[in-house]
Amino acid sequence: MTDTPDTAASIPEGEASRSAAAELDAVLRQRLGGFAPSDDRLAALHARFVRSAMDADAVDVAYRTVDSPVGRLLVCTTTVGIVRIAFDVEGLDTVLDRLAAVISPRIIEAPDALDTAAGQLDEYFRGERRSFDLPLDRRLSRGFQRTVLEHLPEIGYGATESYASVARASGSPKAVRAVGTACATNPLPVVVPCHRVVRSDGAPGNYRGGMAAKQTLLALEATS
């Protein structure tokens, strides 16, 4: 039966015809819902968009994720340098939302822009790299925290220093607690080695990625 909605109701088989038409409409709606690009196509489109966006200098923060022995790391860069490294436990969306608010919402996932950083992190976690050679954007740390964090690379690979000793080196020997806070909120963990600052009694102390992550990093550096 061809579809004749205007007259279908007046003929005896109207009921059957109407239900056939309704069935066809349901099929049509279902098919229209499928009118979408495939995931592969969207991924290819996205890669192309990222290239154009980078070429147009329209990206303020590029990010990628890197797998590591301390879980998935989020690595973010501005045009100045690496601005934020975050642990999985911090929540990828939470960290990106915060960057959108304090730096710029022009944030896109652009793995290629972070190839060098990802490569150096891989080498570090394999025990093949002892220091990082990456441009850093330190805009997320200010004042005393910045002073503390800038001192940290002076603590050598595999070595540790106490919070009190870092406080002395930062010119404020009484600011032990503030050193603890500065380290615990380091925006560039791993690369800026706040994990090498431990308590005077030898206990690891607070860490942005959790106590277990800090111990993993210390153990890695002790054996490599």
Report the b/e string of 9-30 with b at 16+ CB within 10 A.
eeeeeeeebeeeeeeeeeeeee
- CA 134 to chain CA centroid, Å, is 17
Q: Site map for another protein, 180-199, x if CB under 8 A?
A: --------------------
The reply to whether 13 sits near another protein by the rule CB under 8 A is no
CA distance 69 to 30: 45
* Contact call for residues 84 and 99 (beta carbons, < 8 A): yes
Q: Among 106, 126, 130, 177, which residue interacts with another protein (rule: CB under 8 A)?
A: 106
CA distance to 35, 41, 44, 51, per residue, from 38 (Å): 9, 5, 10, 20
The reply to whether 100 sits near another protein by the rule CB under 8 A is yes
The reply to whether 29 sits near another protein by the rule CB under 8 A is yes
CA distance 68 to 84: 16
Q: What is the DSSP string of 112-147?
A: GGGHHHHHHHHHHHTT--SS----B--TT--HHHHH
CA-based R_g, the chain, Å: 27
The reply to whether 42 sits near another protein by the rule CB under 8 A is yes
Residue type, 209: G
The reply to whether 101 sits near another protein by the rule CB under 8 A is yes
The reply to whether 32 sits near another protein by the rule CB under 8 A is yes
CA distance 77 to 86: 12
**Annotated catalytic, 183?**
no
The reply to whether 72 sits near another protein by the rule CB under 8 A is no
The reply to whether 46 sits near another protein by the rule CB under 8 A is yes
The reply to whether 45 sits near another protein by the rule CB under 8 A is yes
**Total residues contacting another protein (rule CB under 8 A)?**
39
**Residue 18: CB minimum distance to another protein, A:** 14
Among the residue ranges 48-56, 117-125, 143-151, 203-211, the one whose residues contact another protein (CB under 8 A): 48-56
Catalytic residue among 86, 182, 194, 220: 194
Active site residues: 194
The residue ranges that bind another protein (CB under 8 A) are 1-3, 24-25, 27-29, 31-37, 42, 45-46, 48-49, 52-53, 56, 58-59, 61, 63, 93, 96-97, 99-101, 104-109
